[in-house]
């Protein structure tokens, strides 16, 4: 039985990765097929009359509502230009200081990710990478700062990953570690960002030489603008500069809605799915046309992925496979070594497949250690989550591919090779560094 359930799990990851199929679809199919062979499900079906009712019972409805509400709300923010406005405000605040800009993009990506925007890296990278190219900043450094910035907000209580991990801990009576998890992911990725900044050209952006180079860049930009004006005629007003556009009432309403989300769900602990759907509903009433577009932007693929994999995890638990694996790890007599193996397993698999699905499987396998008190709950959960996501710098991962797609064609091959080298180092060292967080006195 355990061999069957593990084989199906491996097959799900292989087919999903090699054939580019949503893991959630495969997870649901695997859950239905395996359930037919699991005695616990068959026994329960004698009362319910249908073994599949037991499978559906493991489908995480609350989590799905939260994911739908968040992605629906941020669909409005992306479509009506609210995210661009926030980015413009941030860039204006540090105009001329190239050394600060990588950290601005880092912070913006982290902020949007921390309040539920799972597409934050995909939104910011098309702005950050061309900015780096224009202002002679290392594109690899800027791209990796965006990815690590997104991962810094990873375990926020308002983010998709944070909701998922915190719900798992609460459902297994492991207590509430909301802010500890958030802080650990934040500190880890800020340190990673600092390393990237220092070793990939950040120091060159500081000092007199950097100011001289910035003056040269501005002169080139002015020459380009003058040339464009000449080509379009003396009466032309078509030159695109950093114009200051007034914020519309609808954009102000969206900004207020995002603030209400942070206050309602983050401070007053209101249900994040209900809050985000309500705010999205208000914006929809204001502009019904935008509502239809925002609904198209809902991350249905992520919702299906999470729902399917969580359902399969429930089947794994009913089959006793999770306990069996944990017993085998316990037989080594060193829970910390078992956690280290889980961190590396999460990192390697996640570099090629879905991070959130990998986190779900790994943290479920670690659950018996957490319940027995063999490992610190917050440290182990954060270590697994960070190990599975720090490798998103890989060009084969979704986030890494988003960054690569925004590099100019002339430098893309070189950038790809640099990303491979960097992601190789991260896969080798990142899970170990994440594992060491367990030793922190949180």
248-296 tens-digit pLDDT: 999 999 999 988 887 887 677 788 788 889 999 999 999 998 888 888 8
Q: For the chain, report the end-to-end CA distance as a whole number of angstroms.
A: 39
What are the tokens at 85?
Answer: 């406005």
Closest CA to 123 of 264, 299, 353, 243: 299
DSSP string of 50-105?
Answer: -HHHHHHTTS-HHHHHHHHHHHHHHHHHHHTTHHHHHHHHHHHHTTT-TTTHHHHH
What pLDDT score was predicted for residue 222? 61
CA distances from 19 to 13, 22, 133, 360, 399 (A): 10, 9, 34, 21, 19
* Low-confidence stretches of the chain (pLDDT beneath 50): 225, 228, 232, 234-243
Query: How far does CA 178 lie from the centroid of its chain?
Result: 17
What single DSSP character describes residue 214? Answer: H
CA distances from 134 to 98, 122, 127, 232 (A): 11, 19, 11, 23
Q: Are 294 and 279 in contact (CB under 8 A)?
A: no
What pLDDT score was predicted for residue 46? 56
Q: Are 283 and 290 in contact (CB under 8 A)?
A: yes
Instruction: Give the three-class secondary structure for 217.
Output: helix
What are the tokens at 112?
Answer: 């949007």
CA distances from 359 to 314, 350, 409 (A): 14, 8, 34
Per the prediction, the chain carries an average pLDDT of 80
Q: How far apart are CA 95 and CA 72, in angstroms?
A: 32
What is the rounded (10 degree) CA torsion for 211, 214, 219, 220?
150
pLDDT digits (tens, 9 = 90+) for 349-404: 777 666 777 888 888 888 878 887 778 888 888 899 888 888 888 776 767 777 87
What pLDDT score was predicted for residue 281? 94
What pLDDT score was predicted for residue 242? 40
What pLDDT score was predicted for residue 95? 67
């Amino acid at each position: 039985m355990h061999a069957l359930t593990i084989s199906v799990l491996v097959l799900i990851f292989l087919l999903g990765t090699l054939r580019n199929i949503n893991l959630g679809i495969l997870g649901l199919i695997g859950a239905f097929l395996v359930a037919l062979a699991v005695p616990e499900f068959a026994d329960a079906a004698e009362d319910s009359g249908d073994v599949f009712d037991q499978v559906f019972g493991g489908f995480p409805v609350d989590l799905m509502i939260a994911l739908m509400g968040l992605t629906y709300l941020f669909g409005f923010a992306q479509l009506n230009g609210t995210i661009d406005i926030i980015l413009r405000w941030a860039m204006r605040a540090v105009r001329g200081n190239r050394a600060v800009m990588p950290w601005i993009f880092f912070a913006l990506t982290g902020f949007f990710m921390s309040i539920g925007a799972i597409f934050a890296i995909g939104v910011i990278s098309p702005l950050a990478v061309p900015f780096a190219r224009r202002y002679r900043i290392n594109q690899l450094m800027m791209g990796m700062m965006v990815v690590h910035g997104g991962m810094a907000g990873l375990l926020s209580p308002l983010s998709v990953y944070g909701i998922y991990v915190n719900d798992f801990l609460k459902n297994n009576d492991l207590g509430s570690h909301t802010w500890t998890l958030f802080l650990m992911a934040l500190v880890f990725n800020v340190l990673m960002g600092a390393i990237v900044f220092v070793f990939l050209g950040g120091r060159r952006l500081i000092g007199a030489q950097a100011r001289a180079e910035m003056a040269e860049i501005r002169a080139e930009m002015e020459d380009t603008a003058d040339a464009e004006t000449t080509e379009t005629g003396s009466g032309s007003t078509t030159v695109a500069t950093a114009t200051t556009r007034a914020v519309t009432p609808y954009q102000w309403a969206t900004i207020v809605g995002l603030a209400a989300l942070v206050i309602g769900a983050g401070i007053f602990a209101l249900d994040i799915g209900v809050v985000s759907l309500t705010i999205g509903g208000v914006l929809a009433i204001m502009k019904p046309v935008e509502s239809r577009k925002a609904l198209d932007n809902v991350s249905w693929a992520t919702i299906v992925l999470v729902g399917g994999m969580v359902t399969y995890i429930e089947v794994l638990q009913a089959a006793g496979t999770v306990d069996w694996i944990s017993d085998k790890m316990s037989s080594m007599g060193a829970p910390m070594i078992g956690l280290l193996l889980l961190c590396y397993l999460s990192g390697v698999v996640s570099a090629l497949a879905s991070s959130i699905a990998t986190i779900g499987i790994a943290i479920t396998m670690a659950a018996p250690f957490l319940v027995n008190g063999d490992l610190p709950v917050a440290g182990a959960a954060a270590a697994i989550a960070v190990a599975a996501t720090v490798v998103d710098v890989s060009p084969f991962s979704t986030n890494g591919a988003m960054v690569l797609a925004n590099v100019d064609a002339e430098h893309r091959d070189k950038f790809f090779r640099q990303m491979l080298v960097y992601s190789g180092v991260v896969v080798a060292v990142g899970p170990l560094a994440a594992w060491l967080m367990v030793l922190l006195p949180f």
